Each structure stands twice: as structure tokens, then as C-alpha cells.
Amino acid sequence: MRDPVSVDLSVRIYSWLLAAYPGRFRAEYGHHMAQVFRDSCRRDNRRRGLSGMTSLWARTSLDLVRTTVEEHIERGLDMNRDKFVRWSGWALAAGGVLFAAGLILGSFDRSEFDPLGGMDAVYEYGQAAGLVLGHVLFVIGLLGLRAGYAGRSGSLGAALLVLAVIGSVVSLGGVLANNLTDAAWQIWMGGYLVMNLSLAAFGIVAVRRRVFSRWNFAPILAGIGIPLLFGIGIAGADSVSGTAPEWSSFLAVSLMVVGLILIDLLLGIASALKRKAFDWVKLADFYKSSVLPYVIGYLALYVAIGFIIPPESLGQLGEPVDEGAVTLAWATLTLTLLKSILDNFNELYRGS
């Protein structure tokens, strides 16, 4: 049976208006919405004629406007949230790199307490930019981590992520206010400590609950690794500017190398336990083949560089060249250890 013209025309207009909805929603439900509207038109036209159709159109127009806006907002939020979570992981990693770069540049500044733009302006501005941008990216990365994974981390994990976000914001505030007040240093360190402790503790939750599909150890590493980097930067800056004894830099770098070796060792043991192939002989072999060469190599490079290129022999350039060479030795060892850690990660999570 053919529908009256008023019903047919109404359904055509309504079907045309459905174009206002987001494409995916329209593709999924547009046909069914038009069908429901057609059924409603038939009923109201049969019962009350033109007044029924007018009333139906009034209700449906309001419904259309309201739900079109709702669907667009929901779609926009979903897309933005997904993108935000995806990019925030990269933001966190980039924040770590910038932060480390800032610290390394800062370690070449020989006059730590002069105003910005002094004799080592390049290093000072580089340090400031690295620290500030690094912290901004920490905040973004942690917000993304919370937005994407708080729901599956349980109440403790979610609370730790909130604490980490708060810590990163406080830490950023401390960095920004560093030249304004002496208390900024305490604010920075307080926020920084909260951020890293919370992140490391969240890592334990992540490992236990398998929050991510893999790399659940990463927050623990970040929570430990970032403070280690910071320690190195501070010790390096203090030794170059002459505010700390020379050996403090060596001690800090050594502690970091030992820390990386320990992380590498723990991952190696975890991987062996997973494969049910753990034994003490292999552990001894691991020390001999992987740990000892790092320690000997680092000590040898550190000592050899001092003898091969004595700072005094190069005049004004001596100290930067010496520091650069030691930094190179440190970076080589650190990268070697990081590669070993990544290999152990892959073995642990891929079973290859």
C-alpha cells in the first residue's frame, strides 16, 4: 500500500536531514532511524492527520538537533582521546630525551650560578629549554597514560597515576619558578620525587595486572631511570662549575652504570625464569660475558682518556674536550647496557 504524500515527503526530508549525523553513526543506524520515523509518520497521520504530523515534526526536529550535537561531540571526544593516548606515549619518551639532553648540556656550564646568558649562554639556554620542554612533555605523557590506562589499573593504579600527574605538574612549576625564588628548588624536587616514585609504583601494578599488552616494566624503568639521569646531570654540573668535588661526578656515573647493570640482570633472570631455564652456572656466565666487560670497559676508558688527553695539554679547550670524551665513554656504555636491556625485554615478552 502506498503512503500518503505527506508521509512520503516527510520521510524523504528526514532521510536527507540524517546527513547531519556523523558518517559512522549514519551508516550504522540511519536506515533504522528513517524506518522508525516512517512508522511514526504513518501512525500520527492515521490518528490525527495534519496536526499529528506537525506535532511529530516539532518533536523530531528538536530530537534531531540535540542528538546530532551529542553524536558529534561524542565522536570528537573519542577520536581526540584515542589520538591523545597514542601520542602521549611518544611525548613521555621525548620528554625523557629532552630532559637528558638538557642535563647533559647543563653539565658543560662552568658558571652554574651566573644569570642566564653569561659566559656559557648556549649551554644554559639549552639546559633551560631541555628541562622545561621535558617537563611539559612529562605532564602530557602522564595525562595520556592516565586517560588511557587508569580504567584497567584498579583503584591503586589509578590513584598512583593521578599522583604522578600531580607530581609532574608541581615539578614543572618548580622548574619554571627556579629563577624567581629559592623555594622553587624544593618544589621542583618534591614534585619530581612524587612523580617518579608514583610512576615506579604504578609499574609494579602494571606488571601484576598486565595493564599494557607488553612492556609493563617500562614505568618502573622510567621511574628509576629519570632520577638516575638527574643525579648524573647534577653531579656533572657541580663538578664542572667547581661546586662539588671531582669524584662526585665519577661516583654518580658509576652508580648509574651499576643501576643499569642491575636492571639488565633482573630482566635476564626474569627471562630465564620464564623459560624455566634458570641456573647458577648461566648466571655466572652472564656476569662474565655481560657485566664484567662493561665495568672494566668503563673504568679503562675513564682512566685512559685522562692520560691520553690531559686537560692541561689542550689549553682552554682542555676541560671541555676531556669532559666530552668522558661523556662519550659514558654514553657508549649506557647505550650498550640499554641495548642489552631492550634485548632482555624482547626475550621476556616475545619469548624469542
Partner 1 sequence: MAEATSPDSFLPLTPAVFHILLALADGEKHGYAIMQEVEGMTEGKVQMGPGTLYGSIKRMLSAGLIEESDDRPDPTLDDERRRYYRQTGLGRKVLREEAERMAELMALARRKRVLAGII
Which residues are at the interface with partner 1 (CB under 8 A)?
Answer: 21, 25, 28-29, 31-37, 39-40, 59-60, 62-64, 66-68, 70-71
Nearer to partner 1, 31 or 81 (CB): 31
| SS3 call for 179 | coil
Of 196, 258, 264, residue with least CA distance to 224: 196
Nearer of residues 59 and 274 to partner 1, judged by Cβ: 59
**Rounded least distance, CB 118 to partner 1, Å:** 57
Q: How far is the CB of 67 from partner 1 (least distance, A)?
A: 3
Nearest approach, Cβ of residue 38 and partner 1 (Å): 9
Q: How far is the CB of 211 from partner 1 (least distance, A)?
A: 15
Q: By C-beta, is 55 or 181 nearer to partner 1? A: 55
Smallest distance from partner 1 to CB 78, Å: 10
User: Cα(73)–Cα(246) distance, rounded to whole angstroms?
Assistant: 59
> What cell was used for 65?
538537533
Cβ count near 109 (within 10 Å)? 23
Q: For partner 1, which is the closer residue by CB, 105 or 150?
A: 150
| Measured distance CA(46)–CA(57) in Å, rounded | 15
Could you say which DSSP state residue 315 is in? G
Minimum CB separation of residue 176 from partner 1 in Å reads 38
Q: What is the smallest separation between the CB atom of 203 and partner 1, expressed in angstroms? A: 23
Give backbone dihedrals phi and psi of 351, rounded to 5 degrees, phi first.
70, 20
Q: Say how far apart CA 312 and CA 67 lie, in whole Å.
A: 76
CB of 210 to partner 1, least distance (A): 14
Q: Minimum distance between the CB of residue 20 and partner 1, rounded to whole angstroms?
A: 10
Please state, in angstroms and rounded to a whole number, the distance separating the CA atoms of residues 31 and 171: 53
Is the torsion defined by CA of 25, 28, 31, 35 positive or negative?
Answer: negative
Whole-number Å distance between alpha carbons of 106 and 216: 32
In this structure, how many other beta carbons lie within 10 angstroms of the beta carbon of residue 151?
11
Q: Please say which residue, 14 or 138, places its beta carbon nearer to partner 1.
A: 14
**CB nearer partner 1, residue 76 or residue 293:** 76
* Cell, residue 185: 628548588
Between 40 and 239, name the residue whose CB sits nearer to partner 1.
40
Smallest CA-to-CA distance from 161 within 130, 184, 195 is with 195
DSSP 218-284: HHHHHHHHHHHHHHHHHHHHHHHHTSS-HHHHHHHHHHHHHHHHHHHHHHHHHHHHHTT---HHHHH
Residue type, 218: A
Q: Which is nearer to partner 1, 54 or 313 (CB)?
A: 54
Q: Which one, 155 or 316, has the nearer CB to partner 1?
A: 155
